[in-house]
Amino acid sequence: MSKSPKKSPWIWIPSLYMTEGVPYIVIIVVSVIMYKQLGVSNADIGLYTSLLYLPWVIKPIWSPIIDLFGTKRKWFLSMQFILSLVFLGVGLTTSGNSFFFMTLAFFWMGAFASATNDIASDGMYLIALKPDQQSFFVGLRGTFYRIGMITGQGLIVMVAGYFETSLGDNTKAWSYTMIIVGGLMLILTAINFYSTPKVEEESTVKTDREASFGKVFSSFFTKKNIGISLAFVLLYRLGESQLVKMAAPFLLEERQTGGLELSTSEVGFMYGTVGVIALLLGGILGGIAISRHGLGKWMIPMALSLNLPNLLYIALSHFQPENIIYVGAVVVLEQFGYGFGFAAYMIFLIYLAEGLFKTSHYALATGFMAMGMMLPGMLSGYIQEYLGYTGFFIWVGIAMIPALAIAASVKYPREFGKKME
């Protein structure tokens, strides 16, 4: 029999999920800002950085290995150490003639390590907590995942902006920044080594180790209502998947070409201060709301919360306000709405993973989630260059329609996620 973890989830969930968020956001989003400041076109940025989603899409292929061999803790600690080396590699190759190819190669390695880290970390969450604890802590988990993302999109970008200004050389600025990211990942790995509990699977899950890869996969695709469930996973963030790729280029772009011409530091400051406060409030309130009333009551309100703030970018692109307060207000609303609305998405993924092979099935579900981000994101740069920023943001608003329709149609127990009295 296994031993229940002696360490409180309040201690290890924050650091574990922050360590999921940092590498993901650096690879998927901060790379966009870096390449924009190093002179890469929007079309290339949208295409190649969206392809970096691929490891998260195909991670179910190797997720059974993590279920069948070793422990979740050993897996995520190993991957986090590799990620620290990957970002060091990015930092050391930004100045070469083939910097785009070389840094992309390191980002690809990092993407595979980060996706594997996600599988193992999520597996730890699922086996270390009881179902009602999973619902209660989903807000904390999501919040610190997003804090990790904001650390990348806010603090790390601010550091890069400081180096850009003080050094007058964007190449050196981003080289130093990525080396610092490597050091941060090493520190987070050490924290997780000491904070995470050594949890073994329950005896009932030992069957998992004897299962074939085929059984793990087939049992997922034979779940009830799997078709509409996967449609929900793919479409819920259809608008966001495109917005996230072009929001930073829009904020950084020169005004004469349709952008707001903010500095790198200003973009990082907005996301790293008022943005993170709004995110914290939204994420925590989302988790509490579902734990009190269940997923059914909050699905549509949370889908609206996730999507409606995206419409504000239409006004920003049309009026191009010079006062940064207006831009900051949009960021606050977007971040709060994302934090609140994403809680429903995460609880649904936990529901979809229910059963014997929780770790592998959760990896499958999040793989489809990544596909829903990758495919539209790959086209986002081309769409933006064709429509312009205002037309692009209108298109993002239109993409909200299928997201809301599938949120209203998907099947699940309405009380799922509600804390048992």
The encoded tokens of residue 413 equal 């127990």
Structural domains of the chain, ranges and CATH numbers in brackets: 9-198+212-409 (1.20.1250.20)
Helix (H) or strand (E) holding 100: helix 99-128
What's the pLDDT at 200?
56
CB contact at 8 A, 390 and 271: no
The encoded tokens of residue 356 equal 């014997």
Q: For residues 96 and 82, give the distance between their C-alpha atoms in angstroms, rounded to a whole number.
A: 22
What's the pLDDT at 6?
62
User: Would you give the distance in Å from CA 6 to the centre of its chain?
Assistant: 29
What's the pLDDT at 420?
61
The residues of the chain scoring below 70 in pLDDT are 1-6, 131-132, 135-136, 139, 200-213, 420-421
Q: For residues 118 and 290, give the distance between their C-alpha atoms in angstroms, rounded to a whole number.
A: 23
What's the pLDDT at 205?
43
CB contact at 8 A, 277 and 336: no
- Those residues with Cβ within 8 angstroms of residue 363's Cβ, 6 or more apart along the chain or in another chain: 59, 60, 63, 66, 118, 119, 122
What's the pLDDT at 389?
94
pTM metric for this prediction: 0.72
What's the pLDDT at 208?
46
DSSP string covering 297-327 = HHHHHHHHHHHGGGGHHHHHHHH--S-HHHH
**For the segment 294-305, what is each residue's pLDDT rounded down to a tens digit?**
888 999 999 999
CB contact at 8 A, 341 and 303: yes
